[in-house]
A = this chain, B = another copy of it.
């Protein structure tokens, strides 16, 4: 049987996979970045046990990517955001983050407060 803390970690993973694969590929520009960030956060906050989702667009990375290409938009992918998700499952709080690690968007558990 899983512990409540393990359940909390499972739920945190679901939210990260959901957020990433729902929104990867979305057309994004400097002008539309804010509305995408807000929609990502509010959409995933609907899911069970999800206390909060914070999406920070890495504007400098997005600007640099747009400067390299011929268009004024690109596709949303992990390198354009830092994301924090907080889960509460039966009083067990898990904080998980997505950050770039060696070119990949790494999703990792940052902290667990076990009940």
- B46 touching A73, Cβ below 8 Å: yes
Question: How many chain A residues touch B (Cβ–Cβ < 8 Å)?
Answer: 54
Bound Cα distance A15, B35 (Å): 18
A19-77 CB contacts (< 8 Å) to partner B = 19-29, 31-32, 35-36, 38-40, 42-48, 69-73, 75, 77
Bound Cα distance A42, B31 (Å): 8
- Chain B residue nearest to A22 (CB atoms) is B21
Given contacts A9-B10, A14-B14, A21-B22, 13 further A-B contacts (CB under 8 A): A2-B112, A6-B9, A6-B109, A7-B109, A13-B17, A19-B21, A24-B24, A24-B75, A25-B25, A27-B47, A32-B39, A35-B35, A38-B39
